[in-house]
A and B are shown apart, each in its own frame.
Chain A
Amino acid sequence: MDANAIYQTPTVEDIAQLLPAKFSGVNVTGTETRRVFATVPRENLFEVCTYIHDNLTFEHCSTVIGVDYVDHLATVYHLTNYYNGVMIELVVDIPCDDMHVDSVTPIWEGANWHERETWELFGIVFDNHPKLERLLTPETYEFFPFRKSYKLRGSE
């Protein structure tokens, strides 16, 4: 398959072939009906997303999710193709000592608020984000409440 061609309705098998062929760091971890799961190294995220948007016609970014695994953090991206309903799940691992990842808002405007939310609740900094400010919590907050180190009263 030609990795540089534009596909409007790529199937799950196509995507599972094309992504590792184009980017050596991308690792497809599994597929289901209309679902592709992959991990992406942090440095490649922006190019991989640009490729998925431009060449595989994934027009919609459903979510950007932050997860705190204590020893590291992760951001998860869910991308949708509107022509055949296929979804790609990208997982990017982020080390605790350098919480930076490229923003995908220049590609999908819909990721804007999700990234702002993930920043304010987890402290993951999205580089090149147009407006990384607090959205849901007050501006005076000095901590990141969704990290596991932030305990709720009554838990434990």
Chain B
Amino acid sequence: MTDSIVPIKEIEENMEKMDTDKMWVIMGPQHPFSHGLWTLKVQLDGEIVTDAEPIVGYLHRGWEKEVENREYPKIIPMADRLCYAASMTYTHLYCMTVEKALGIDIPEKAKYIRIVADEVCRIQSHLMWLAAVGTDLGNLTVFLWCMREREYFLDLNVKLCGARMTTNYPRIGGVRNDTTELFDRDILRTVDRFEKALWDIIYLIDDSSIFVSRMKGISILTREQVANVGLTGPAMRGCGVDFDIRRDDPYDNYDKVDFEVPVLNTGDSYARYMIRVEEMFQSCEIIRQAVQKVKALGKNAPYRIKTPSKVPAGTHFTRLEDPRGESLMYLVSDGTDRPWRLKVRSPIFVNVSSAKLQSVGTRIADVPAVLAQIDMCLGETDR
């Protein structure tokens, strides 16, 4: 490096030859883009990202060790706390794992109620993500509109189980309570209203050049890369992997409802956004069908069965489609009323480990836009 001032024209002529030092920039742990406590170290060559390393673990509570000292039913509220936006799916997953270890089949009604609860959870989680993308890309209206729509779905949670986010609703052997009075009317009204409101948000985003130019053609991933790196969920389906656990490895009664799995082959940031939006419409469809099934089963159908407190020794695992990807629980039981080991596979834990793959080659200004597609939640990443 020389100290003399070089004329601009000369710099432009020698642009190809110029070597700049690479620089590490540390984004986080307190950074507007991080949506939680984590750090992204990015290596820059000028403006272009050449390397990236995520650092997590600030929130490590030893969840898996902690549950080894608790009876099985007492772990349900802890499973809620894995992720506040996907609490229903995690509790569902935990109950499903224990039911599999017990070898019991739960009542039909409970299965459909769980589907309804899961899809409400999926919509509100996706809306939370869309709100976050809105702020990351500099459009506060999207944030406000999404949060407004999300409130209606949180109200449905209140109507169903009394809590907004940490719901503590599924139980080993069913669900805690039957659907409340007029719940089916309210949920159908909410869904109908929401589909119209979602179009408003879509127009707002698709007509905005800020959004589209910062997502289209940015961070293109291929099918092989995505499968190998373990990226799951909507981000994976935006890159051409045609796989959804709800359809291809169905649990509970997902094989008895009819829905489509959106898949795009473009693989860019915009495709991953489109998949999530389309998933919200599909969730509305699933809710409509499942509510009809719950109604058809009648008011007096059983929704919960009694289960023994001790789980026979053995190893079992189940997985389900979380709003953010594939979550899996592996239970090792030793015949007592406490688990020997319970491992949680968090989708975001793996998705965030691919931050390097996603962000290399993009500009530093696009890093928040690209990594917003992960839909970060630290509670389940660090466990």
Interface of A toward B, CB cutoff 8 Å: 34, 59-63, 65, 67-68, 76, 78, 80, 82, 84-85, 87, 89, 108-114, 135-138, 145-146, 150, 152, 154-155
Q: Given the known inter-chain contacts A63-B345, A152-B66, please indicate yes or no for A82 contacting B241, CB distance below 8 A.
A: yes
Instruction: Write the B321-363 contact mask toward A (1 if CB under 8 angstroms, else 0).
Output: 0000010101010000000110101000110011000000000
Which of B57-65, B130-138, B139-147, B297-305 contacts its partner?
Answer: B57-65
Asked if B65 and A152 make an inter-chain contact with CB atoms under 8 angstroms apart, the answer reads yes
Asked if A63 and B330 make an inter-chain contact with CB atoms under 8 angstroms apart, the answer reads yes
Asked if A112 and B353 make an inter-chain contact with CB atoms under 8 angstroms apart, the answer reads yes
Measured CA separation A109–B332 after assembly (Å) = 26
Asked if A62 and B248 make an inter-chain contact with CB atoms under 8 angstroms apart, the answer reads no
Measured between beta carbons, the chain A residues less than 8 angstroms from B281 are none
Asked if B227 and A78 make an inter-chain contact with CB atoms under 8 angstroms apart, the answer reads no
Measured between beta carbons, the chain A residues less than 8 angstroms from B317 are 78, 89
Other A-B contacts than A60-B228, A109-B229, 9 sampled, CB-CB below 8 A, are A34-B249, A60-B230, A65-B343, A67-B341, A76-B315, A78-B345, A89-B317, A110-B228, A110-B230
| Other-chain residue from A34, A114, A152 in contact with B69 (beta carbon distance below 8 A) | A152
Q: Which of A60, A84, A87, A137 has the most CB of B within 10 A?
A: A60
Asked if B345 and A82 make an inter-chain contact with CB atoms under 8 angstroms apart, the answer reads no
Q: Given the known inter-chain contacts A111-B230, A113-B350, please indicate yes or no for A146 contacting B248, CB distance below 8 A.
A: no
Within 8 A of A (CB), among B29-66: 56-57, 60, 62, 64-66
B231 vs chain A, min Cβ distance (A):
8
Within 8 A of A (CB), among B209-268: 224, 227-232, 241-243, 245, 248-249
Asked if B230 and A109 make an inter-chain contact with CB atoms under 8 angstroms apart, the answer reads yes
Q: Given the known inter-chain contacts A89-B317, A135-B56, A136-B56, please indicate yes or no for A63 contacting B328, CB distance below 8 A.
A: yes
Asked if A146 and B64 make an inter-chain contact with CB atoms under 8 angstroms apart, the answer reads yes
Instruction: Give 24 CB contacts A-B under 8 Å.
Output: A34-B249, A59-B228, A60-B232, A62-B230, A63-B328, A63-B345, A65-B330, A65-B343, A67-B340, A76-B330, A78-B330, A78-B345, A80-B326, A87-B319, A108-B228, A108-B230, A110-B228, A110-B230, A110-B354, A112-B353, A113-B349, A114-B350, A136-B383, A138-B57
A151 vs chain B, min Cβ distance (A):
10
- Please count the residue pairs between chain A and chain B whose beta carbons lie under 8 angstroms apart in the complex: 84
| Other-chain residue from B230, B243, B340 in contact with A61 (beta carbon distance below 8 A) | B230
B178 at the interface (CB under 8 A from A): no
B382 at the interface (CB under 8 A from A): yes
Measured between beta carbons, the chain B residues less than 8 angstroms from A136 are 56-57, 60, 382-383
| Other-chain residue from B227, B328, B332 in contact with A67 (beta carbon distance below 8 A) | B332
Chain A residue at minimal CB-CB distance from B53: A131
Measured between beta carbons, the chain A residues less than 8 angstroms from B64 are 146
Measured CA separation A65–B340 after assembly (Å) = 13
A50 vs chain B, min Cβ distance (A):
13
A57 vs chain B, min Cβ distance (A):
10
Q: Which of A59, A138, A145 has the most CB of B within 10 A?
A: A59
Asked if A62 and B241 make an inter-chain contact with CB atoms under 8 angstroms apart, the answer reads no
Measured CA separation A146–B64 after assembly (Å) = 8
Within 8 A of A (CB), among B42-96: 56-57, 60, 62, 64-66, 69
Chain B residue at minimal CB-CB distance from A68: B341
Measured between beta carbons, the chain A residues less than 8 angstroms from B349 are 113
A91 vs chain B, min Cβ distance (A):
8
Q: Given the known inter-chain contacts A85-B245, A136-B56, please indicate yes or no for A62 contacting B353, CB distance below 8 A.
A: no
Q: Given the known inter-chain contacts A136-B56, A136-B57, please indicate yes or no for A63 contacting B66, CB distance below 8 A.
A: no
Measured CA separation A108–B330 after assembly (Å) = 20
Q: Given the known inter-chain contacts A34-B249, A62-B319, A145-B65, please indicate yes or no for A137 contacting B60, CB distance below 8 A.
A: yes
The 10 closest A-B pairs by CB, nearest first: A110-B230, A85-B248, A59-B227, A136-B57, A85-B249, A136-B60, A113-B353, A63-B345, A155-B69, A82-B243
B234 vs chain A, min Cβ distance (A):
15
Q: Given the known inter-chain contacts A108-B230, A145-B65, A146-B65, please indicate yes or no for A62 contacting B341, CB distance below 8 A.
A: no
Asked if A62 and B229 make an inter-chain contact with CB atoms under 8 angstroms apart, the answer reads no
Measured CA separation A110–B233 after assembly (Å) = 14
Measured CA separation A129–B341 after assembly (Å) = 25
A9 vs chain B, min Cβ distance (A):
11
Measured between beta carbons, the chain B residues less than 8 angstroms from A154 are 69
Measured between beta carbons, the chain A residues less than 8 angstroms from B245 are 85
Q: Which of A63, A85, A155 has the most CB of B within 10 A?
A: A63
Measured between beta carbons, the chain A residues less than 8 angstroms from B230 are 60-62, 108-111
